[in-house]
């Protein structure tokens, strides 16, 4: 199997995960179920899609300068941020309804722009149609049920996993990739920049998660700032997580 076919297969698998997570986040009435779907399916599908997309871009000798790539990524980010907004909501209201439209419309638009990448004049229509479809589709979603039990624990555990995932990319980048590259002239990602891109993807996921966790756990603004600065330091997110979420005592979050 060639590299191109492998990246395409991985992208389809990741996109299926992302779509499955999106569907569960939009349709689950329980906040606990929405958070579980966000952390277990949607986030990994999103990250996998972006990683496989990077591999495809390199295999096809494309670059980020391609407008359709940046536009598709923007729509994907809108969908991701809206998914966090919806998963962290416990009360049905205008924000929840708007988030559903963003989750559905953003993902549909992201895929639509990839499909019509050679016809940029159609992109505004694709985006408009996608969010209209999202608005119609969201009307059939199950309304939220009020649920508090176990929600905070899920938020804590979800943030912890994301912080460690981001920290793992730092270990790979600074602890393995750079020493091998500059010490032994061995480039383990073939010069594609895949490891650097993986780190960037998880920094984005971490920062969005940080913002919503800050609100959900009533952290101080100083803690939010420290959490953001941690993403710029080697092992910073892991250290930050260990300081604010002690092991075996998830409830000490304030």
Q: What is the pLDDT of residues 47-69, one digit of tens each?
A: 999 999 999 998 888 988 899 99
The pLDDT-based confidence of 36 (bands split at 50, 70, 90) is very high
Whether residue 157 sits in one domain with residue 194: yes
Which of these, 39, 88, 35, lies nearest to 216 by C-alpha position? 88
Whether residue 67 sits in one domain with residue 104: yes
Whether residue 211 sits in one domain with residue 169: yes
| Domain edge (last residue) among 112, 138, 164 | 138
Whether residue 217 sits in one domain with residue 192: yes
Provide the terminal-to-terminal Cα distance of the chain, rounded to the nearest Å. 51
Whether residue 208 sits in one domain with residue 110: no
Res. 75: pLDDT tops 70: yes
Domain count, the chain: 2
Whether residue 91 sits in one domain with residue 21: yes
Does residue 145 form part of some domain? no
Whether residue 180 sits in one domain with residue 82: no
State the pLDDT at residue 192: 77
Range of the domain at 195: 151-244
Does residue 199 form part of some domain? yes
Please write the tens of the pLDDT for every residue from 169-197. Answer: 888 888 887 888 787 777 777 777 888 89
* pLDDT more than 70, % of the chain: 94
Please write the tens of the pLDDT for every residue from 12-23. Answer: 999 999 999 999
Whether residue 103 sits in one domain with residue 15: yes
State the pLDDT at residue 249: 43
State the pLDDT at residue 141: 85
The pLDDT-based confidence of 11 (bands split at 50, 70, 90) is very high
Whether residue 110 sits in one domain with residue 8: yes
Does residue 41 form part of some domain? yes
Q: What is the pTM of this model?
A: 0.89
237, HSE (Cβ side, Cα atoms, 13 Å): 25
State the pLDDT at residue 147: 66
Distance CA 38, CA 27 (A): 12
Whether residue 130 sits in one domain with residue 29: yes
Whether residue 183 sits in one domain with residue 132: no
More confident residue, 228 or 235: 228
The pLDDT-based confidence of 250 (bands split at 50, 70, 90) is very low
Retrieve residue 7's tokens.
Answer: 């990246």
Whether residue 103 sits in one domain with residue 34: yes
């Amino acid at each position: 199997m060639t590299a191109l076919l492998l990246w395409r297969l991985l992208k389809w698998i990741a996109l299926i995960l992302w779509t499955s997570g999106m569907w569960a986040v939009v349709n689950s009435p329980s906040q606990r179920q929405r958070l579980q779907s966000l952390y277990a399916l949607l986030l990994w599908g999103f990250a996998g899609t972006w990683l496989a997309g990077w591999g495809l871009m390199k295999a096809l000798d494309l670059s980020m300068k391609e407008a359709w790539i940046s536009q598709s990524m923007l729509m994907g980010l809108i969908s991701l941020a809206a998914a966090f907004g919806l998963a962290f909501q416990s009360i049905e209201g205008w924000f929840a309804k708007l988030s559903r439209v963003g989750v559905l419309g953003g993902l549909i638009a992201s895929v639509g722009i990839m499909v019509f990448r050679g016809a940029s004049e159609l992109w505004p229509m694709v985006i408009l149609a996608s969010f209209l479809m999202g608005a119609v589709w969201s009307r059939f979603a199950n309304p939220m049920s009020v649920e508090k039990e176990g929600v905070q624990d899920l938020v804590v555990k979800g943030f912890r996993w994301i912080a460690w995932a981001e920290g793992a990319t730092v270990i790979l980048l600074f602890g393995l990739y750079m020493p091998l590259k500059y010490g032994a002239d061995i480039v383990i990602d073939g010069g594609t920049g895949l490891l650097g891109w993986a780190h960037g993807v998880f920094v984005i996921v971490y920062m969005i998660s940080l913002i919503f966790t800050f609100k959900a756990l009533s952290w101080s603004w100083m803690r939010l700032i420290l959490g953001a600065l941690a993403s710029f330091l080697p092992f910073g997110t892991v250290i930050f997580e260990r300081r604010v979420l002690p092991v075996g005592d998830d409830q000490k979050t304030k």
